[in-house]
Structure 1
């Protein structure tokens, strides 16, 4: 049977994730230190685990409402107001999803029609472009630069806008670069968008992980931006709850109601146990977030300092838990560097072009791992460079 004639042409044209390729290779090798996956090495805080266990013991394992537990949505509303000056009604301006990834998918598929243009700020997380592509939209990459802190500038946005522009995907703090957007920078972006019909998907999954001393600012909190912004967030990164698979989307009721309709037919509802645990996370884990952020900050400083001393020029990330050093000094492509490092020194990192063509010449290294693992990985990377005659 010729499956190429049977399968959807659209899905066949989508390339597999560049992250997974190296993760799968590393999984088949011994003595590998994998710094390729953005997953906290912390255990989910005990009060959260305890709440999940309690929900199982009490038999709370039934379906919830499609939009999620009312109790959880109330806590999300309080949290967003407390932390980011965002106001959303728990009744009809938010719903709970299976991870932030589902919220991203629902948002893109709800907003775009075939032929619409989706502007994707890059380098960025790998899912945005493929989901837009599967929705038969045209992906318009907007390349950011290290000299601008990998932030989106108003000029870059203006140059990307056409009459077909429908959606801007704004992923800050950024995976993979660690770039952030300040209030002043976001105001410049807002000035470009006001008066247009362009919507914004603001992926704020790393909002709690910033290291500038200034709190994260959401585009939706600026004048005139609430009504055109869908905020996506979740519990995976800030609360070390990756396996619980829980996120949420917030925005204007006319958009959220349509996203929820798709969620009803595709998913039904997010896991009940995870939702019960998340209620406790929102109520009692601000201190745990701070403790994890402080630890990430120490790791961040270690990585930036060591990589720069090796000669791998590294922009200082101001958010998330990744560094994105340049490997151009080696003369290798990103993929060649990653393959050689993996086979020679058993260290797995991700080629920068997995996050968009403008990521070529860089690699992404996650510091969501223990200091012990990071230190050993850095020793191996340094040895790898010295064997090739590369010194700072």
Structure 2
């Protein structure tokens, strides 16, 4: 029999209208997923809509069984061994599926990303950098894509004996292989490094999944290095997410005549750290004073939400509209305690009336 609490947590996570922020607020308020599921109808009713249909227990049990059969396990955001750097993100995945050496999550981690159609020189340089970083005990994180990602994984994976290694984050389920030519590399990472997926087993990678994967890559790492990237590429999205999370953004410069170097050169122009060697990366990510090192288990959750009155609910809803606004601005303009604002937003989201956007912004959607 599957663990009852794990079943409840999977049910809550796989329920429509319950995203990462809502999940963490529900757990903070009610203590466990079972109690949160029981409270959903009342919360949604106060938000002016119907409660979301909770994912059935059978679905959660099947997922737990499938993950175990694959030699993997779930890692919930409440767990002590969930990566602390990733947990700092407001939209940290409530659950990860991991296969391999989870001890790599306790190492210093650096993300390395770049173009899929990277030049031979860029791939060789990425492989060399990853090898040297892993030799210094750094775990190199990437997304198992063609080009720079593949080179980074290959360079780092042979240095496991030096304390480093590699972590691969994939866009689909833990059992999905993409791209097909990296099947052997993905299996090797799962057995000699660490493979991570946010989506449930059996989920094929779709275009919408890759930005979610990118936030995990950036969130796991103290810094993100872009080796080669064209403008508007996914690698630049990862770099932007790293910057928004307060992590180091690094880039390798390239020829202005090569379109694949424009993204990196633009990052450097906008303030990214110019990287020419592994020593540059190590100097960037290692603090001058050891006392500045963050605890890997740090959490930044706010206080548990509190009940709101009808008047407070009406006042806050009147400030919302179709244009996204930051939660901090809602707190400032309403004059309400942050916990009360959290409660009302939670109720509205569960009722299907609230949409959450990037950078902690929210908007009022159409009536359900």
Q: TM-score, normalised by structure 2?
A: 0.31
